[in-house]
Structure 1
């Protein structure tokens, strides 16, 4: 199901926002999760069948809301933002190098950051050998050799090592940015998953207060109650359901926590060994700890734009909460006419709150019924062995991937 199928005019109705906040609180309570770090997955999100599809979920930077619809194609992603960051740092002890380079320094930086295709890092020799090749083609011999000697002094610093890793992995233009765990690791964790959990939500009693969460009350969302046509009629149904008592009972046969981070070192894993490490925590740490022009260049991205109150890298997804063997029952006290029942039954086959997934997709099965008073009950289930992402553990920069440690 595409994001466009789910969007409803740019933001969720207030009624569904309230239900979403209640569902979030019920999941936190029933599954023993921490509201200081947990973000609820909105919709039916599966990790995919390949490691690369799984990594795309981790690579999406989480918005500051208690709920998130994962869109792997979103512009704001971790790897590209990280690449812009390390490209905008000043190498330590680089003053002599820059002075020796003179006007050629800007040309060298432009070559690293904007070449198409990006430069290939030689093996052996790394970025130092790349520079040596470049200066021989682009600089006067004496000045080039002096610059090469100066660059030798700084090339083993934090920033050059980070740049060397980034470019070796393809830079921002190409190459998969791998993470340090695979789909096989996820399968192993789920096979050893903890005991099942149960969640109960009652719209008449469950709190919708999410101000005491890490997101400080922000509730994102783009859904009506059903994934039906966007119209006044469907909005009426949503409001009718929300105005009456609604209960949700869900059980998860298996629940597991899958932790994953950017690939920083070569791996002996048969899958990970095929990918080039691209992340260097020391560079993020250097940037995080120093909000000044000794470390940051005078061009964007800036410290505030990266780590500040509205910065791009305030939080990272460090773990996923994954469940399997899902059974849910959604019951409403609202009463519907026979015509409304037919319309709602048809809509339920393509998705209903809170998982929004079509019948048959990913193993889901829906059963829809009404009692003699027209009150509805929707039962949805997905079998064991089918993995569903319930949510994520969101961690601030200072605590994630070694990037913010003092």
Structure 2
């Protein structure tokens, strides 16, 4: 019996994987996006804020290798953090003078630098290390050598990463200040892009949609991707998920406005440093062999933290879409879905407290289930991203 249940669940998952790929392909076709680089998003994908913070968090997410991804910016790995780790795993290119000045203690300095999590400049950090580790007679020569090394591109990149000039400050609803690395996808640019955007018709049918995934993984990174119905209350939709996948799904309607917006990082990020690392696999003159913060594989292998980045966000506004499950539901089924599926019905999952769209459930005369999703004019959601591979 257990094996039968496992097989049934696996079949449901495969069907939903195919639906995810088909839905991604329908959106890409309708919006004229590149099938090879477009990744559809699910999750809390409203802008989530009246400022640029929601956009910056999405731009700073590390996307998986998948045609679909669950985006919860508060929980995603951060591109900026991965980039900072990469810098700390690398060696300067002009370090011969400093090596000579420090001798056997050069490795100690590199280890100290790599372990640092402060906002000190490289000069101030080196002074702090020198005060603790060098006798006064050796400090002067070491400081002179380090000043000469400050123009090294790696040291400049490390200093730029902590420069407040390249960060934007925000305030939480509780009045707490915080800062995020700045990206070009600011809120005013998003509004301008949507206001001048185009419209599109959506006509998806799970029985005819292409499930081609261009070699990338179809499954998402959250449980919602393997479900038709998702809720916050106790109770399982396992039976209803199986029922839903036994028949076709369709999504029809119109998107009033859609647009893309570029997500270029400010100068806290140095693309030349990423290229330097990417092109130096197994080169211990560039990668610190003693580093414990990462190496080429952890950053640039298929699942590496810098293997892909978000280059554009795909924005939508002013839509009304009807999602119909063509299975036959009882009144009891319908009531359970309407009251329990508080996170939504595939493919529009979003916690109610975060959702910017409205949803209306209907139990149709033929027993099928329809949900009308509506996003008003002036509201914007992020429906996906254009993904670029390293070292771009």
User: Would you say same fold, with TM above 0.5?
Assistant: yes
Query: Is the contact made by 1:61 and 1:78 (CA closer than 8 Å) also made in structure 2?
Result: yes
Residue 327 of structure 1 corresponds to: 320
Q: Secondary structure at the match of 2:142?
A: helix
- TM-score computed with the length of structure 1 as normaliser: 0.81
Residue 187 of structure 2 corresponds to: 183
Per-residue deviation, 1:319:
0.9
Per-residue deviation, 1:54:
2.1
After superposition, the CA RMSD in angstroms is: 2.9
Q: Deviations over 1:236-255 (max 9, x none)?
A: 22222221122111321110
The separation in 1 between residues aligned to 2:358 and 2:219, in whole angstroms, is 32
Per-residue deviation, 1:170:
11
Query: Is the contact made by 1:31 and 1:197 (CA closer than 8 Å) also made in structure 2?
Result: yes
Residue 76 of structure 1 corresponds to: 77
Poorly superposed stretches of 4+, deviation over 6 Å: 9-12
Per-residue deviation, 1:39:
0.5
The separation in 2 between residues aligned to 1:398 and 1:296, in whole angstroms, is 16
The separation in 2 between residues aligned to 1:354 and 1:102, in whole angstroms, is 60
Residue 293 of structure 1 corresponds to: 284
The separation in 2 between residues aligned to 1:130 and 1:244, in whole angstroms, is 63
Distance 1:170 1:351, change over 3 A: same
Residue 34 of structure 2 corresponds to: 34
The one of 177, 182, 192 aligned to 2:196:
192
The one of 354, 366, 377 aligned to 2:370:
377
Per-residue deviation, 1:33:
1.1
Query: Is the contact made by 1:359 and 1:366 (CA closer than 8 Å) also made in structure 2?
Result: no
Q: Does 1:345 align with 2:335?
A: no
Distance 1:104 1:344, change over 3 A: same
Q: Deviations over 1:163-219 (max 9, x none)?
A: 222244599xx96322234212212222222x2111211122112232x25x25555
Residue 241 of structure 1 corresponds to: 244
Per-residue deviation, 1:390:
0.8
The one of 183, 206, 230 aligned to 1:203:
206
Query: Is the contact made by 1:11 and 1:221 (CA closer than 8 Å) also made in structure 2?
Result: no
- TM-score computed with the length of structure 2 as normaliser: 0.84
Per-residue deviation, 1:317:
0.7
Any unmatched runs of 5+ in structure 1?
A: 1-8, 122-126, 265-277, 400-406
Per-residue deviation, 1:110:
4.4
Q: Secondary structure at the match of 1:257?
A: strand
Residue 365 of structure 1 corresponds to: 358
Residue 259 of structure 2 corresponds to: 256
